[in-house]
C-alpha cells in the first residue's frame, strides 16, 4: 500500500493559484489559468485539492496557520517578559501588524505576493471567503484586543475595537498596493521594486497606526451636527 505522498504538483498548484488570485481575484481566475501556469493537468486541482473553493482556502491556510501561530508566540513571549504588567501599545501593534509585514521578506512564507493577496481578499465579497477568515482569525484577534484593553485602560473598549478595525484597513490597503488612485506620483522616483517599496512602507505605516490608535477620543457633537 503506497502512502499518500503527493509530489510537488500540489505545491506548484498552490503557488500558481496564489499569484493568479493576487493578480485577478478569486472569481477572475479560472482553473485553466491556474493549471496552465503551474504546468500541470487541468484535473490535478480537483484530484489534489477537491474543488476551487477548497483550493483558495488551502492557499490561505498554509500561510495563515504559520502567521497566526507566530503572532500568538510573539504575544505570549512579550506577556511573559512583562510579568503581568501591561504591554506598550507599540509592542502590541508590532506583534500583530509587524509580524504580518515582515512576511514580505520571507519568500518561504509567500513573501510579498501573499501579502498583496491577503490585502485584497480581506474585502472580497465572496461569502465563504469572509466566513473562512472570521474563523481563521477569531482567536488571535481576541487575544490582541485583550492586550490592547489592558495597555490602554483609560480608553473605552469599544473605541479600541473600532481603532483595531481602522488599523486593519490601513494595513490591508497599503499592502494590497493597487495604487488604484495613483497616490504615489511622479516626483516620487522610487517604484524600484515591490519588496524594496515595502521596506520603506513599514516604518511609515507603523507610525501612522500608532498615531491613530493614540489619537484623542472623538467629540460627539450633539444631534449629529456634522463637523467642524
Partner DNA sequence: CTATGATTCATACGTTCGTTTGAATCATAG
Partner DNA sequence: CTATGATTCAAACGAACGTATGAATCATAG
List Cα–Cα distances, 149 to 25, 28, 87, 156, 161, in angstroms: 36, 40, 10, 8, 9
Selected from 83, 185, 192, 222, the binder of its own copies by CB under 8 A is 185
Nearer to DNA, 12 or 116 (CB): 12
Nearer to its own copies, 5 or 182 (CB): 182
180 lies in the binding site for its own copies (CB under 8 A): yes
216 lies in the binding site for its own copies (CB under 8 A): yes
Q: Which stretch binds its own copies (CB under 8 A): 6-14, 45-53, 59-67, 162-170?
A: 162-170
- Which of DNA, its own copies, none lies near 31, with the C-beta cut-off 5 to 8 A by kind? DNA
Burial class (CB in 10 A: 0-12, 13-18, 19+), 60: buried
205 lies in the binding site for its own copies (CB under 8 A): yes
**35-94: contacts with its own copies (CB under 8 A):** 90-91, 94
**99-128: contacts with its own copies (CB under 8 A):** 102, 119-120, 122-126
Which is nearest to 214 in space by CA: 147, 174, 167, 169?
Answer: 167
Nearer to its own copies, 24 or 46 (CB): 24
Please give the residue ranges that form the binding site for DNA (CB under 7 A).
1-7, 9, 29-33, 40-48, 51-53
Say if CB 116 and CB 22 are below 8 A apart: yes
Give me the least distance between CB of 33 and its own copies, in Å please: 13
Amino acid at each position: 500500500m503506497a502512502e499518500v505522498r503527493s509530489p510537488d504538483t500540489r505545491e506548484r498548484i498552490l503557488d500558481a493559484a496564489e499569484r493568479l488570485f493576487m493578480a485577478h481575484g478569486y472569481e477572475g481566475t479560472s482553473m485553466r489559468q491556474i493549471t496552465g501556469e503551474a504546468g500541470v493537468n487541468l484535473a490535478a486541482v480537483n484530484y489534489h485539492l477537491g474543488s476551487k473553493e477548497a483550493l483558495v482556502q488551502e492557499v490561505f491556510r498554509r500561510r495563515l496557520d504559520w502567521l497566526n501561530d507566530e503572532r500568538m508566540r510573539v504575544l505570549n513571549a512579550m506577556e511573559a517578559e512583562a510579568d503581568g504588567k501591561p504591554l506598550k501599545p507599540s509592542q502590541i501593534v508590532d506583534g500583530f501588524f509587524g509580524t504580518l509585514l515582515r512576511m514580505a521578506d520571507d519568500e518561504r512564507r509567500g513573501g510579498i505576493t501573499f501579502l498583496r493577496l491577503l490585502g485584497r481578499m480581506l474585502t472580497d465579497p465572496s461569502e465563504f471567503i469572509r466566513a473562512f477568515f472570521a474563523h481563521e482569525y477569531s482567536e488571535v484577534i481576541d487575544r490582541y484586543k485583550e492586550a490592547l484593553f489592558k495597555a490602554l485602560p483609560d480608553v473605552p473598549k469599544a473605541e479600541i475595537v473600532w481603532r483595531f478595525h481602522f488599523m486593519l484597513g490601513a494595513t490591508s490597503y497599503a499592502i494590497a498596493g493597487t495604487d488604484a488612485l495613483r497616490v504615489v506620483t511622479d516626483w516620487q522616483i522610487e517604484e524600484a521594486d515591490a519588496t524594496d517599496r515595502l521596506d520603506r512602507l513599514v516604518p511609515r505605516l507603523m507610525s501612522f497606526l500608532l498615531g491613530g490608535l493614540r489619537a484623542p477620543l472623538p467629540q460627539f457633537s450633539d444631534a449629529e451636527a456634522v463637523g467642524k
